[in-house]
Amino acid sequence: MKDRAAILSLAIGLIVTLCGQFGICAAQARDHLTDQEVELVKEAQVLDKRIEVFVKAADRRMLVLTSTGAEAAAAAQSKKESELWGPMPKGTRAELIGDITKIFDEAITNIDDVSSRDEKNPLLPKALRHLAAAATRLVGQLQPLAAQAKDDSEVNSFDQLVENAESIIQAANRLPPPRDKKEKAKTEKPK
């Protein structure tokens, strides 16, 4: 009986220790957006504006990746932009590429959510085209960095980014061509 109590006590202690360690690991998980970027996303209630925030957040990471770090990227940022967006994101190449991947994933989720509720929403094509243009541009800029990947985490982050970008671009390619303003004005009836 004494051995059973000792084993039970040891098992409970082990569970508590493991839960504590997993809790610490979970708390250390990297956020793909800074606190100020999260606030800007929350403020942007209209889909196309929210996608613009996601694209700008991804561009900020790209600026850090292509310059000589967050300090150099911060120097390139205007004072007004710095006040609005906050400090430039920091992290390793793999982390920053992973952030861009997660930002694209979150943008895709936002577009999917709006589409599932209102598939005729006129902001869907605009938002998707904007995201596709950004995905094409960023993946093109990251190609040289992918060739210099130093470890598996960088390679995996880049592969996931390319996969997300391809799905965004494919979805945008399925959209009907955008109507120009003259055509739109002709087909709309005066009120």
Question: What are the tokens at 111?
Answer: 């577009």
Distance CA 145, CA 100 (A): 14
Does 113 fall in a domain? yes
pTM for the model stands at: 0.75
Burial 155-165 (b: 16+ CB within 10 A, else e): eebbebbbebb
For residue range 133-151, list pLDDT tens digits in order.
999 999 898 888 888 887 8
pLDDT recorded at residue 15? 55
Binned at pLDDT 50, 70 and 90, residue 60 comes out as: very high
* Residue ranges making up the domain that contains 99: 30-176
Does 121 fall in a domain? yes
Does 44 fall in a domain? yes
Does 100 fall in a domain? yes
Does 82 fall in a domain? yes
Distant-in-sequence, close-in-space partners of 120: CB < 8 Å, separation ≥ 6? none
Pairwise pLDDT comparison (159 vs 82), residue with the higher score? 159
Does 91 fall in a domain? yes
Q: Three-state SS across the chain?
A: CHHHHHHHHHHHHHHHHHHHHHHHHHHCCCCCCCHHHHHHHHHCCCHHHHHHHHHHHHHHHHHHHHCCCHHHHHHHCCHHHHHHHCCCCCCCHHHHHHHHHHHHHHHHHHHHHHHHHCCCCCHHHHHHHHHHHHHHHHHHHHHHHHHCCCCHHHHHHHHHHHHHHHHHHHHHHCCCCCCCHHHHHHHCCCC
Binned at pLDDT 50, 70 and 90, residue 107 comes out as: very high
| Structural domain count, the chain | 1
Q: Among 92, 74, 85, 75, which Cα is nearest to 30's?
A: 92
Q: What is the Cβ-side half-sphere exposure of residue 93, based on CA atoms within 13 angstroms? A: 19
Distant-in-sequence, close-in-space partners of 117: CB < 8 Å, separation ≥ 6? none
Mean pLDDT of the chain: 80
Does 159 fall in a domain? yes
Binned at pLDDT 50, 70 and 90, residue 104 comes out as: very high
Does 88 fall in a domain? yes
